[in-house]
């Protein structure tokens, strides 16, 4: 645990992480280079690679702090209850989230977000299914796809909308079909 106790280590790591966030806000994730980061953080090149393997490594070290999982226990409240709180949270962190999730952000972050969200949705559906639903994985994928699609479009300013509108669209499109599947054990 040397890494944590030495002040120099803490300072350096934090400088690098802050620098990345700032740069993401400035010019987006993809276009930010390691060279940019070490310049902004004012650390030596070797120092960077002593702490992180990658740009992505830095980001993921940070990502857990930013995790927007306001997901409560699975079976409380309405179906897909995570939706509105999530859209609201995204709006409050608009700049950063846009930079990470939009077209200018890396696919890596989106992939990670999709995975986490899929887990949430999966549990929610399992908790509510009265009978085993066939091909639940497919349903989860479709639902996550709809949500993330909306989120990305929003992040990219393809349309202006309030969190409430986003939430309403998502639920209105997706909930009736999913409810049918859950109750009837129907396809897919």
Partner DNA sequence: TCTGTAAAGAACATTGTGTTCGCTATTGTG
Partner DNA sequence: CACAATAGCGAACACAATGTTCTTTACAGA
Measured between alpha carbons, how far is 104 from 35 in angstroms, rounded to an integer? 19
Q: Is 126 in the site for a copy of itself (CB under 8 A)?
A: no
Among 150, 155, 163, 182, binds a copy of itself (CB under 8 A): 150
Return the sign of the alpha-carbon dihedral for residues 14, 15, 17, 22.
positive
Question: Which of a copy of itself, DNA, none interacts with 131 (beta carbon under 5 to 8 A by kind)?
Answer: none
What three-state secondary structure class fits 79?
coil
User: Binders of DNA: how many residues, by CB under 7 A?
Assistant: 25
| Residue 10 near residue 4 (C-beta atoms within 8 A) | yes
Centre a 10 Å sphere on the Cβ of residue 123 and count the other Cβ atoms it contains: 15
Measured between alpha carbons, how far is 140 from 136 in angstroms, rounded to an integer? 6
Q: Is the Cβ of residue 91 or residue 175 nearer to a copy of itself in the bound state?
A: 175
Q: Is 46 in the site for DNA (CB under 7 A)?
A: yes
User: What does residue 63 show for φ and ψ, rounded to 5 degrees?
Assistant: -60, -35
| Residue 169 near residue 146 (C-beta atoms within 8 A) | no
Task: From 8-16, 31-39, 90-98, 171-179, give the range in contact with a copy of itself by CB under 8 A.
Answer: 171-179
Task: From 8-16, 81-89, 90-98, 169-177, give the range in contact with a copy of itself by CB under 8 A.
Answer: 169-177
Q: Is 109 in the site for a copy of itself (CB under 8 A)?
A: no
Which residues of this chain interact with a copy of itself, rule CB under 8 A?
Answer: 103, 107, 111, 114, 135, 137-139, 141-150, 152-153, 158-159, 161, 165-166, 168-170, 172-178, 180-181, 186-188
């Amino acid at each position: 645990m040397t890494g944590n106790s030495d002040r120099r280590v803490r300072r350096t790591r934090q400088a690098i992480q802050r620098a990345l966030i700032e740069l993401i806000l400035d010019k987006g994730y993809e276009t930010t280079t390691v060279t940019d980061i070490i310049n902004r953080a004012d650390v030596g090149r070797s120092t960077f690679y002593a702490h992180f393997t990658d740009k992505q490594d830095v980001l993921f070290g940070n990502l857990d702090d930013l995790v927007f999982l306001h997901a409560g226990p699975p079976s409380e409240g309405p179906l897909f209850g995570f939706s509105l709180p999530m859209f609201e949270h995204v709006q409050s962190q608009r700049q950063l989230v846009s930079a990470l999730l939009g077209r200018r952000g890396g696919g890596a972050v989106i992939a990670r977000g999709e995975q986490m969200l899929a887990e949430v949705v999966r549990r929610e559906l399992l908790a509510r299914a009265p009978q085993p639903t066939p091909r639940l994985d497919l349903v989860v994928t479709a639902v996550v796809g709809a949500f993330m699609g909306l989120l990305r479009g929003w992040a990219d300013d393809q349309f202006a909308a309030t969190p409430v509108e986003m939430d309403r669209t998502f639920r209105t499109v997706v909930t009736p079909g999913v409810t049918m599947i859950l109750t009837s054990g129907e396809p897919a």
